[in-house]
Structure 1
Amino acid sequence: MLKNKNLASLTLILLITAFALGVWHLHTPAPAGSPLPLPQIPPKAKITLLPLDGRPPCRQFVINGGRIAGLEVSVPPGELQDYYSLPGNTQGMKDWLMNDLSDSSAALISIDQLLHGGLLAAREKNASHAEVDSLTAYLRNLHEKYPAVPLYAFSILPRLTPQDSIDGYQERKDLIAYSRLAGRKAAGLAVDENELRRLEEAIPPQSLSAYLAHFKENEYLNQKLIDLTREGILTKLVLGQDDGEAYSIPNIEKSALLGYIAASGLDSSRVFLTHGADEIALTLLAGIENQRTGFAPKVCLDCNTPETLQKIMPYMAVDMETTAREKIALLGGEETNNPEEADFILFMSAIDNKEDTLKSRAKSTARLNKYQLAGKQLAIVDLSQHFTGSECLFPQLLEEDFPVSSLAAYSGWNTASNSIGTASSQASLYLAALSACEDKDEAVQTAYAQSAFLQGRIMEDYYYLKQDIDEVNNSLKKAGYTNTADLDLEHNYRWATAMLQKSLNGHLSAYQNTRAARTPYQVAWQKGELTLALHHLKIDASFPWPRTFEVNLLAYPELHQIP
């Protein structure tokens, strides 16, 4: 009798499973077409990259973007690269760069890496005038050795937040308040002078001096770089403002540099100021590819609500519209108000539960569907005011079976400048590459690289950063970690990575079997067209640094060609 009951239970379970699988297949298209082999084509050119730091957005994204364009992006060996709070080997970087340019078409050079050993090190160090002068002499020598190789340099202005070496809670709080008031006063706005004096007196003199000296030293550095650009040593210089606010001491330095640029007779084609940091190298790469192919993308801006254009997101000093226009200009594009003539639509969604903008998602998806049916390329920036999945547009796209694998770009990283810069650069690289494709093999190679970048962004920016990171952090805290930004990966790397991969693979399994992911899409180049579909997706994810803030995520799509 017990055996029969067990058999009946097993039969019931199998029937339920079969029914569930049947329902699943009703909602998921069966794989179609034939596997598309990846051709092996030599790179069209080599670009040397000295990255801002070793994090994926600064290094791996540029490598992946180069693959879309058929470019080899050469990066320094890992042993020279910075690792979290450990700065990179600056002399080793100089030696490597001096040798690597021998067969390069251009160089993208992070001044923060070359001078300090990375962005985090640059936030803590002050460079003496002698060190800056030594750097400028090196850049002169580099140009003299390779006069035909354009040098694109980028330097990041110090952020509002005090250096970590100023670690007193109250003095850090007072310095931030002081910086904001000083910035407002410098902009000609009324401030509470008594409060400004009180803060000035309350902050320990050595802390205030160290804080202010950081900006003065950085101003001297950037003036010297502007001089090199005026002389033609540097082909282009980009100055980025990292984690900015509307009024602060960093903006005082920025204003002084704008005056210096104007006095030097340089325009934005030679020295460009932008808000952001991590995305600058990728945007410069897109600009180089546009010059190489003669492609100048026309970009139309659209948003989830009209108010989004004027919205200032966390860690930003300017609104979304200003940021988007900066990134379009930096990559050599042109804004258009006419969607019909646009090469791609840059659609920006910025949802805030407290402002009741969730209802905009349905209207946004309807507009995106119209664009897609009209054959327009779409780059989606999917931002969340509180960094939660519930404020993202992406789940609405999945629910309504929007063909996400057809997107020219998707990005929803931590700040608006990172996301807008990454999405616009990816879309531009993709379309520039297609415009220059000579045959099917080149188009296939571009399509593979594009899909790998796109699917990686979806898995990290939506699934990891808006969902999985909370699960991982909560598990770490239960295990006794109080600071997930300072993990002991030397002893717990396998456990932390296994937890990360388990969480992500659960979402991957569900995502890759949605209609939204598997719907076929067209890839058109100047001499033909392909219809492709995502058949299967694998990912590899790990923590590049001992913190959970970002992951090194590589996506490996299997694409099928549909007859």
Structure 2
Amino acid sequence: MRKLYFFLFLISFAIILTVYNYYTPYSTTPISDSPESSYQFKIILIPLDSRPACTTFVAELAKIADINVVLPPKEIMDNYKTTADKHALRQWLYKESKDANAAIISIDMLVHGGLLASRQSVGTQSDIDTVIHLLTSIHQERPQLPIYAFSIIPRLLIADNTLTIQHQKNMMDYSVLKDQIYTFENPVDIKKLEELEQQIPAEIINNYTMLYQQNMLQNMELIKLVDKNVITNLVIGQDDGQPFGLPNIIKQRLYHYISLSDKLPDKVVLTRGTDEVALTILGKIAAHLKHYQPKIFVTYSDENAPYTVMPYMPHSVATTVNEKIKLVDGVQVNTAEQANFILFIHVGTQKNQNSVLPSAVTKIQTLLNQGYQVALVDLSQDFTSQETVFPLLLRNNIELTKLIAYAGWNTTSNSIGTAITQATVFTATLPDKKTDPAIFNLYKTNLEFLTARFLDDWYYLKEVQPALNKILKFVNIDPYHLGSYYEQTDAVVRRIMQYKSRQLLYSKAFKNPLTVTTQQGAVSLAVTSLDIQTHLPWERTFEIYLRPSLTLSLVGSDQQH
């Protein structure tokens, strides 16, 4: 009976969350939809896995730059713990590469069948050899095709299964101690490690260390392909980590190997992050196509933010910023006046939420009022809504649609990489738009991605998902394994997010007009309708698929454009 009432409780839960004041809009005239862009550039994408962050995000951002991203058919992709059809994916890549203008390729998808599979090293040396041969063959047949490949160093935490779950904590300590001993050779740490090795089955330790050894060999083979000009650019990302651990040893060895060559440092980039890597590669390609190098002024909500080491990150926020700017071939400048856009980074913590948040709102409002293009990264150390700046922007009616980018999802690297990429793609494309319909369409496309970030990164991840997970756990349903409760939970999530989209649409912060420069001069635009498609892509609540469709209208005009 307890679980029967659970779904009624969930539906009512949609109504009890925070509600902001609705705003009655002014007189508006809808802008006619422009025809679909005639894409002149095709990118084929082998994603890291089938999650929206690795697929939809890339394709939707590409539309802003008039780039068509082509994804593999859904039936050969992975689905949570079901690995992708690697053989079919390799065939698809070979076929689609014949008329593509560029390729973004996840090596882990082709070798292992997805990110989760790569954490258990499902692929073999034979798989690696096959992929190396495939990339070489594609290059030989189409040497003019730029191949942007990326590979991921596995996360610090051992993959969870029935054999390893009880040893995860000890294995994490083992990994950290191995790196600390490698760095400092402290006798106390050596003794701790010896004690740990007695508590963990040897098979688990061997499998864990072999995972990184195989990954090291895979990355070395890929670097050789860069040296042979088979791969145009290679990004090696590091999955969730800490300041110490076996992944950091692999990273340092790769740094050393790359530094021995004169040309490799310009073609091989090591970065912290995973899910956003394909997206940032897209930003690099878009900037290159537009002959554009973004000039970025970085500012923070408080003086401690750049030096903060956030969860799942091996280093400071500022270091991550530097890496992500490098990934899109951007350059940091010293003043806002020199910049194409401002990257404003808020780092929320329990200690600073009362002192920093009000001033952060004032700073953001000032920058927007002064006409600067602002990309906002909204981080929370504890992944809570109370530490983020977004709800204060809503309550203070700050013009949300003036932002050119927003991100606050999952890890620091995820968010920073996404915001920089969206801002880069938008500012690179804007000068190309010469007609009013083209300008309006660009703003509409960018606003749809921006709206998706508001609804996903804040409304869902900070407000809906935490409450939803508590309810699921209360009735003994695992949010990471919904099983037979997937369809019912998915239906409830859809209903809640529809409600949240109405809540955003009718907030004054979202309805406030946006001033856009056109051939006829400055005009004011406002969002007057918002529809969303949304669902849980996997049988868990960790992420959602969310695609907005909005209507832009001219404010105070009786002429239709």
Q: TM-score, structure 2 length as denominator?
A: 0.92
Equivalent in the alignment of 1:505: 498
Match of 1:561 among 534, 554, 557: 554
Answering whether residue 479 of structure 2 is matched by residue 484 of structure 1, we say yes
User: In 1, Cα distance between the equivalents of 2:232 and 2:553?
Assistant: 42
Residue 332 of structure 2 aligns to which amino acid in structure 1?
E
User: In 2, Cα distance between the equivalents of 1:232 and 1:527?
Assistant: 48
User: In 2, Cα distance between the equivalents of 1:365 and 1:532?
Assistant: 23
**SS of the residue 2:192 aligns to:** helix
Could you report, residue by residue, the CA deviation over 1:197-242 in whole angstroms, capped at 9, with x for unpaired residues?
1112322111111110000011000000000001100000000001
User: In 2, Cα distance between the equivalents of 1:420 and 1:485?
Assistant: 26
Mean Cα deviation higher: 204-213 or 179-188? 179-188
Matches within 5 A, 1:75-90: 75-90=71-86
User: In 2, Cα distance between the equivalents of 1:110 and 1:214?
Assistant: 18
Residue 479 of structure 2 aligns to which amino acid in structure 1?
T
User: In 2, Cα distance between the equivalents of 1:189 and 1:336?
Assistant: 40
Give 1:170 deviation, angstroms: 4.6
Equivalent in the alignment of 2:338: 341
Could you report, residue by residue, the CA deviation over 1:510-534 in whole angstroms, capped at 9, with x for unpaired residues?
2211111011113347996553211
Give 1:83 deviation, angstroms: 0.4
**SS of the residue 1:468 aligns to:** helix
Mean Cα deviation higher: 470-479 or 172-181? 470-479
User: In 2, Cα distance between the equivalents of 1:313 and 1:62?
Assistant: 25
Match of 1:538 among 507, 520, 531: 531
Match of 1:329 among 323, 326, 329: 326
Mean Cα deviation higher: 161-170 or 61-70? 161-170
Equivalent in the alignment of 2:382: 386
Answering whether residue 508 of structure 2 is matched by residue 515 of structure 1, we say yes
Answering whether residue 373 of structure 2 is matched by residue 373 of structure 1, we say no
User: In 2, Cα distance between the equivalents of 1:351 and 1:165?
Assistant: 33
User: In 2, Cα distance between the equivalents of 1:327 and 1:527?
Assistant: 37
**SS of the residue 2:69 aligns to:** strand
Native 8 Å contact 1:31 1:535 kept in 2: no
User: In 2, Cα distance between the equivalents of 1:300 and 1:351?
Assistant: 20
| RMSD, matched Cα | 1.9
**SS of the residue 1:187 aligns to:** helix
Answering whether residue 178 of structure 2 is matched by residue 182 of structure 1, we say yes
Residue 147 of structure 1 aligns to which amino acid in structure 2?
P
User: In 1, Cα distance between the equivalents of 2:424 and 2:521?
Assistant: 19
Match of 1:159 among 152, 155, 168: 155
Answering whether residue 303 of structure 2 is matched by residue 317 of structure 1, we say no
Matches within 5 A, 1:137-176: 137-165=133-161, 167-176=163-172
Native 8 Å contact 1:299 1:343 kept in 2: yes
Answering whether residue 444 of structure 2 is matched by residue 448 of structure 1, we say yes
Q: Provide closer, same or farther for how the CA distance between residues 417 and 526 of structure 1 changes in structure 2, counting only shifts above 3 A.
A: farther
Equivalent in the alignment of 2:394: 398
Match of 2:226 among 211, 214, 229: 229
Match of 2:356 among 330, 352, 360: 360
Residue 151 of structure 1 aligns to which amino acid in structure 2?
I
Q: Provide closer, same or farther for how the CA distance between residues 252 and 122 of structure 1 changes in structure 2, counting only shifts above 3 A.
A: same
Match of 1:254 among 228, 251, 256: 251
User: In 2, Cα distance between the equivalents of 1:168 and 1:363?
Assistant: 46
Equivalent in the alignment of 1:12: none
Native 8 Å contact 2:111 2:124 kept in 1: no
Native 8 Å contact 2:158 2:164 kept in 1: no
User: In 2, Cα distance between the equivalents of 1:124 and 1:274?
Assistant: 21
Match of 1:469 among 465, 471, 476: 465
Equivalent in the alignment of 1:496: 489
User: In 1, Cα distance between the equivalents of 2:204 and 2:95?
Assistant: 41
Matches within 5 A, 1:62-73: 62-73=58-69
Residue 513 of structure 1 aligns to which amino acid in structure 2?
Y
Q: Provide closer, same or farther for how the CA distance between residues 29 and 277 of structure 1 changes in structure 2, counting only shifts above 3 A.
A: same
Q: Provide closer, same or farther for how the CA distance between residues 437 and 245 of structure 1 changes in structure 2, counting only shifts above 3 A.
A: same
User: In 1, Cα distance between the equivalents of 2:110 and 2:165?
Assistant: 31
Q: Provide closer, same or farther for how the CA distance between residues 24 and 235 of structure 1 changes in structure 2, counting only shifts above 3 A.
A: closer
**SS of the residue 1:154 aligns to:** strand
Equivalent in the alignment of 1:20: none
**SS of the residue 1:180 aligns to:** helix
Could you report, residue by residue, the CA deviation over 1:362-397 in whole angstroms, capped at 9, with x for unpaired residues?
111111122112211111111111111111100111
Mean Cα deviation higher: 287-296 or 527-536? 527-536
**SS of the residue 1:164 aligns to:** coil
Equivalent in the alignment of 1:287: 284
Native 8 Å contact 1:155 1:238 kept in 2: yes
Q: TM-score, structure 1 length as denominator?
A: 0.92
User: In 2, Cα distance between the equivalents of 1:430 and 1:29?
Assistant: 27
User: In 2, Cα distance between the equivalents of 1:149 and 1:342?
Assistant: 32
**How many aligned positions are there?**
536
**SS of the residue 1:299 aligns to:** strand
Give 1:179 deviation, angstroms: 0.6
User: In 1, Cα distance between the equivalents of 2:402 and 2:143?
Assistant: 41
Native 8 Å contact 1:544 1:551 kept in 2: yes
Native 8 Å contact 1:434 1:446 kept in 2: yes
The structure having more radius of gyration, on CA atoms, is 1
Residue 450 of structure 1 aligns to which amino acid in structure 2?
N
Equivalent in the alignment of 2:100: 104
Equivalent in the alignment of 2:9: none
Equivalent in the alignment of 2:5: none
Unaligned 5+ segments in structure 2 are 1-19
Equivalent in the alignment of 2:13: none
Equivalent in the alignment of 2:412: 416
The percent identity for this pair of structures is: 34
Q: Provide closer, same or farther for how the CA distance between residues 525 and 297 of structure 1 changes in structure 2, counting only shifts above 3 A.
A: farther
Mean Cα deviation higher: 51-60 or 256-265? 256-265
Answering whether residue 300 of structure 2 is matched by residue 300 of structure 1, we say no
Residue 245 of structure 1 aligns to which amino acid in structure 2?
Q
Unaligned 5+ segments in structure 1 are 1-22
Q: Provide closer, same or farther for how the CA distance between residues 130 and 480 of structure 1 changes in structure 2, counting only shifts above 3 A.
A: closer
Could you report, residue by residue, the CA deviation over 1:85-116 in whole angstroms, capped at 9, with x for unpaired residues?
11101110111111112221100000011111
User: In 2, Cα distance between the equivalents of 1:78 and 1:41?
Assistant: 24
User: In 2, Cα distance between the equivalents of 1:524 and 1:242?
Assistant: 42
Residue 295 of structure 2 aligns to which amino acid in structure 1?
K
Native 8 Å contact 1:111 1:153 kept in 2: yes
User: In 1, Cα distance between the equivalents of 2:464 and 2:450?
Assistant: 19
User: In 2, Cα distance between the equivalents of 1:530 and 1:273?
Assistant: 43
User: In 2, Cα distance between the equivalents of 1:525 and 1:263?
Assistant: 51
User: In 2, Cα distance between the equivalents of 1:154 and 1:511?
Assistant: 36
Native 8 Å contact 1:350 1:384 kept in 2: yes
